[in-house]
Chain A
Amino acid sequence: MRKFKYADEKIGHTEIMIALPAMLLGVGILVLPKKLAAETMATDGWVSILAVGIVVIVISCGIAKFVSRFRESSFMDITTQLTGKAIAVVIMLLFGLVMLNVGSYQLRSLVNITEKYILAETPIEVIGLAFLLVVVYAVSGSRAALLRLNIMFFPFIIIIPLLVMLFALPDVEWGRVMPVFQTDFHGYIQGMKSSVLAFTGISILWFYIPHMREPERAPRAVAIGMSVATVLYITWFIFTLVTFGSGVTANLLYPSIELAKSVEIPGEFFERFELVFFVIWTMVLFNGMAMTLDITTLTLTSIFTSVSKRTIIYIVTPLMYFVSMLPRDIVELNRYGTYVGYAMLIYTCFVLVVLFVLSGIRKVK
């Protein structure tokens, strides 16, 4: 009998396109302006974002093109074909390990902000647990549904920052754009180093593109998705800078949320708009976190094929929760985030290079 085609678990190209901004922007938009403002003069940081953005778009399109060449339906199968079973298991395990830490970092970032702005009296452990349980509920469902969720929350990713920027217009001092291009070369490099951290999420491509219905449409979708993220980063960065100025931005704890705080909604319907902003932004953070946990689970299920997905979620989740509660303060958390971010990005590129070389040697079509 023919399979009931509609109910399959394949992913469309829109899902891939939107998964990227959903993965990148969540934490990225909250932390990027502060780091970048400290390292570049005035609004020059946008050059760094743009440069990094272009490089990352090229890399991610490379991943998309590379993965979509294969007929296999999972990343594990692709690596096994190229490197053999043993090395594939190592690659997947490392991916799982890094992803676990990415998830912990995302969780703790959300928890810290929630505690600071929304629930001052609730212990962070409780805030984190509640959120993590919701993420577990999402990951327990089907993978296609998880990516559909990105699309359902995608309007918020675009509309909410645009709204904040629109209402911030009265406070903007365009004079702060000047002086332009006063940053020295070293400054740009430092800026790029920080911006790179906002783009680490591209490793999801390894795992989701093999599940696509039409993998050949992946590169274009990836390019569009990445461009949206880059453009949004740049506009958001410039807006934060021209509202607060370089010095203030670098010294604020969460400049992005402060930007939302500074805006005044006409009609005085919301007194504290940053709360509304962050509460809605929780959905975006949820998207990123859910994909992270999903991929952590996916790496392990593809290694231990006999263990059920649910069991693996039950093992991974407490670990992620435990690690997320380890950093003692915001400084430690930021350092942790930096390490994890670099690890993820370097590892992704490393895997790309290794697999690409191997596919060249083995002449896989």
Chain B
Amino acid sequence: MGRRYFKNKNRQKDNPTETTNERTDFSEPLQTDLEKNLENLETILDEPNDLVIRQFPVRNSSHNAAIVYIDGLVNDDEVYNTALKNVQLFTEQADLPSDPDDMFETLHHSIISQADVETTDRLDDVLDNLLYGHTIFYLDGTDTVLIMDTREWETRSIDEPNSETVIRGAREGFIENMRINMVLVRRYIRDPNLRFETFQVGRRSKSNLVLTYIEGVVNPEFVEEIKRRIDTIDIDSVLESGYIEQSVEDSFMSPFPQLFNTERPDRVAAHLEQGKFALILDGSPFVLIAPVVFGTAMQSVEDYFDRWAIGTFLRALRYLAGFIAVFLPALYIALVGFQPDLIPTRLAISIAATREGVPFPPFIEALLMVMTMEILREAGVRLPTTLGETIGIVGGLVIGESAVQAGIVSPIMVIIVALNAIASFTVPQYSVAIGFRIILFGYMIAAAIFGIYGVILAYIMTNIHIANLRSIGVPYSTPFAPFSWRDWAGTVLRLPLPMMTQRPGFLRPPDRISAGNKGDSS
């Protein structure tokens, strides 16, 4: 719907105005002459100082060879041990054919001891692979080159995920390296049907994006649909999986995320086994999961690690907290400002007493405090960890206490805002919690205009939005509507393990049964 508003902008920019040295089309074959090839490469890349070109003669022949790589992206030892040393040493003993093409074949198959080697004769292939950390082996006299996978660069070690801490559960989190992230997932699912499909996204960043799912568990329609959507991504660079999320989501106007992100491999594995798919972007520790529904936001992977009663209780608690996170300040505005008769008389009197001398109407009072809370939260994120804690103390205690003392806000308001902020952090999916914080302001405005009638209208509107929202085609309001007892019980409650024998039906998994009852003698 919203796309219509942006259409006109793109229409005007058809004429490229400035001419630069930029070359974008490299789809041409390589030359046979080594010098020319290297010169060409240097011109295109404009001789950066991290480009390493090592030329050397192949013994027993009149031909020169060259190894080209980008320093820092490759493992120097590997290049030396598998390529350079081998070519220089072993060619003395071996009887190399004199024809360059045959010589190239021999080098390829017998001399170079790299495991992952490909050949190509296209310039664009060479450039792509070179910039991705592969090493290129040129031989004079032939237009084919070897591409050796020697990628290795500095990465962070596997760490505890910061954004999703659990009490019970694995302490491993994803890191920025896609390969290691894939390994982390594979270690949970050793099923030969686990699929990893690689896509390249971003015109300039050319990032690798891996779609992973379990064949036979995921509904093939989801896989087809997400592949179609990935193909439509056409942006310069993909710095974080958030770019992917926003490019493939169903509605970009929504405050709710339609793909969830996680740093936890066990969470990804759990979702894959339910019949969802995941997207791993190289360079981002946040893996995307879809299709998700609203109820997924209230689930933590930990619910399944503890016994079922604990999980069920915690989920109920989170729904209550979600309610508080969205409604509390709005209800305060509505009840104190419009319908004080709804509050029990004695409570109403004590609220009125504390509001004695407060110069603002409830809406302004609430807005002041909620905004303060948001500023504190944002400041806490920006500051270094040690300082962040101080901000919490300074903000929470000093500002709240002083504001009450100065008579700007009532103590009840401070309680409400504090409770509201704390409640929003119980939602396990941070991006949903932030969505709650945003629609909170809408509720407050509605309450300021129409009181409790406004709150219910805002609630209806939220529901309308959720009913219309889809995640990769799955209605966001499932399993509440379309309703299914089994899915409802599996999403809102946490069933005892022996009862969790089926995957969620709303994902339409081809293989519905997820657990047997071997131990059940009856």
Q: Which residues of A contact B457 (CB under 8 A)?
A: 130-131, 134, 282
A4-B225, A5-B221 known; A152-B452 Cβ under 8 A: no
A275/B452 in contact, CB under 8 A: yes
Q: Is the CB of A282 within 8 A of B453?
A: yes
9 A–B contacts from the bound complex (CB under 8 Å) = A4-B221, A15-B482, A130-B457, A138-B464, A146-B467, A268-B344, A270-B342, A271-B342, A272-B342
Chain A interface size range: 35 or more
Residues in A whose Cβ lies below 8 Å from that of B452: 118, 275, 279
User: Which residues of A sit under 8 angstroms from B482, Cβ to Cβ?
Assistant: 12, 14-15, 148, 151
Shortest C-beta distance, A155 to chain B (Å), equals 9
Interface residues as binary, B444-459 with A (CB distance below 8 Å gives 1, 0 otherwise): 0000001111111101
- In the bound complex, do residue B456 and residue A137 qualify as a contact, i.e. CB atoms below 8 Å apart? no
Once the chains bind, are B475 and A145 in contact (CB under 8 Å)?
yes
Identify which of A14, A119, A279 gathers the most chain B CB atoms within 10 Å of its CB: A279
Which residue of B222, B456, B468 contacts A279 across the interface (Cβ within 8 Å)?
B456
Q: A4-B225, A272-B342 are in contact. Are A118 and B453 (CB under 8 A)?
A: yes
Contacts of A270 in B (CB 8 A): 342, 344
Distance in Å from the Cβ of B489 to the closest Cβ of chain A? 15
The answer to whether B474 has its CB under 8 Å from any CB of chain A is yes
**Is B398 an interface position by the 8 A CB rule?**
no
Tell me whether B464 and A149 are in contact (CB under 8 A). yes
Kindly identify which residue among B222, B338, B464 contacts A137, using a CB–CB cutoff of 8 Å: B464
- Say yes or no: B481 contacts A152, CB within 8 Å: yes
Task: Report if A286 contacts B (CB, 8 A).
Answer: yes
CB-contact partner of B474 in A6, A122, A142, A144, under 8 A: A6
Across the two chains, which residue of chain B brings its CB closest to A11? B482
Q: How far is the CA of A122 from the CA of B372 in the complex (A)?
A: 32
Q: Which residues of B contact A282 (CB under 8 A)?
A: 453, 456-457, 460
A119 CA to B343 CA, complexed, in Å = 16
Known: A4-B225, A271-B341. A152 touches B480 (CB 8 A): yes
Q: Which B residues have a C-beta under 8 Å from some C-beta of A?
A: 219, 221-222, 224-225, 338-339, 341-345, 348, 450-457, 459-461, 463-464, 466-468, 470, 473-475, 477, 480-483, 508
Q: Which residues of B contact A146 (CB under 8 A)?
A: 467
| Nearest residue, chain B, Cβ from A275 | B342
The 10 closest A-B pairs by CB, nearest first: A151-B481, A7-B473, A148-B481, A141-B468, A6-B473, A145-B467, A145-B468, A148-B467, A138-B464, A268-B344
Given contact pairs A151-B481, A283-B460, a sample of 7 additional A-B residue pairs in the complex whose CB atoms are under 8 Å apart: A118-B453, A119-B451, A131-B457, A138-B464, A148-B475, A270-B342, A279-B456
Among B348, B454, B461, B482, max chain A CB count under 10 A is at B482
Complex alpha-carbon distance, A145 and B475, angstroms: 8
- Contact at A114–B342, with CB atoms within 8 Å? no
- Determine whether A162 belongs to the interface, using a CB cutoff of 8 Å to chain B: no
Binary B-proximity of A119-153 (CB < 8 A = 1, otherwise 0): 10010000100110010011001101110111111
Tell me which of A4, A14, A134, A150 contacts B461 (CB under 8 A).
Answer: A134
Q: Is the CB of B470 within 8 A of A141?
A: no
Contacting residue for A286 out of B460, B466, B467, B477, CB 8 A: B460
- Docked-complex contact A271 and B345, CB < 8 angstroms: yes
CA distance A151 to B451 in the complex (A): 26
Q: Which residues of B contact A185 (CB under 8 A)?
A: none
> A118 and B451: CB pair below 8 A?
yes
B453 touches A148 (CB 8 A): no
Would you call B341 and A272 a contact (CB within 8 A)? Answer: yes
* CB of A14, distance to nearest CB on chain B (Å): 5
Q: Which of A119, A141, A142, A151 is within 8 Å of B453, CB to CB?
A: A119
Complex Cα spacing A153 to B455, Å: 15
* Closest residue on chain B to residue A5 by CB atoms: B221
Q: Is the CB of B508 within 8 A of A6?
A: yes
Q: How far is the CA of A128 from the CA of B456 in the complex (A)?
A: 14
Complex Cα spacing A15 to B222, Å: 24
Residues of B within 8 A of A118 (CB): 339, 451-453
Among A114, A148, A268, the one with the most B-chain Cβ atoms within 10 Å of its Cβ is: A148
In the bound complex, do residue B221 and residue A6 qualify as a contact, i.e. CB atoms below 8 Å apart? Answer: yes
Task: Please encode chain A, from 6 to 37, with 1 for each CB lying within 8 Å of some chain B CB and 0 for all others.
Answer: 11000010110000000000000000000000
Q: A269 interface residue, CB < 8 Å from B?
A: yes
In the assembled complex, the CB of B333 is this many whole angstroms from the nearest CB of chain A, namely 14
- B492 → chain A, closest Cβ, in Å? 12
Please name all residues of chain A whose beta carbon is closer than 8 Å to the beta carbon of B343 when the two chains form the complex. Answer: 271
By beta carbon, the residue of chain A nearest B291 is A6
Q: Indicate if A87 sits at the interface (CB-CB under 8 A).
A: no
Please, how many angstroms separate the alpha-carbon atoms of A12 and B475 in the complex?
A: 13
| Cα A300 to Cα B464 with chains together (Å) | 23
Q: How far is the CA of A151 from the CA of B475 in the complex (A)?
A: 13
- Given the complex of chains A and B, what is the CA–CA distance between A134 and B475 in angstroms? 20
A252 surroundings in chain B (CB, below 8 A): none
Binary contact readout A86-105 vs B (1 if CB under 8 angstroms, 0 otherwise): 00000000000000000000
Q: How close is B493's CB to chain A, nearest CB, in angstroms?
A: 15
A288 to B454, CA, bound (A): 19
Q: Which residue of A lies closest to B344 (CB)?
A: A268
Chain B residues near A268 (CB-CB < 8 A): 344
**A169 at the B interface (CB under 8 A):** no
- Cβ of B348: which chain A residues have Cβ within 8 Å of it? 271
Q: Is the CB of A141 within 8 A of B467?
A: yes
Minimum distance in angstroms from B400 CB to a CB of chain A: 26
**In the bound complex, CA of A131 to CA of B449 (Å):** 13
Chain B nearest CB from A7 CB (Å) reads 4
- Given contacts A118-B451, A130-B457, whether A151 and B483 have CB atoms under 8 Å apart is yes
A271 with B483: CB separation less than 8 A: no
* Alpha-carbon separation in the docked complex, A270 to B455 (Å): 17
Is the beta-carbon distance between A145 and B453 smaller than 8 angstroms? no
Inter-subunit contact B450/A142 (CB<8 Å) = no
Which residues of chain A are near B460, meaning CB under 8 Å?
Answer: 134, 138, 282-283, 286
- Interfacial chain A residues near B477, Cβ < 8 Å: 148, 152
Complex Cα spacing A334 to B454, Å: 26
Chain A contacts of B454 at CB under 8 A? 130
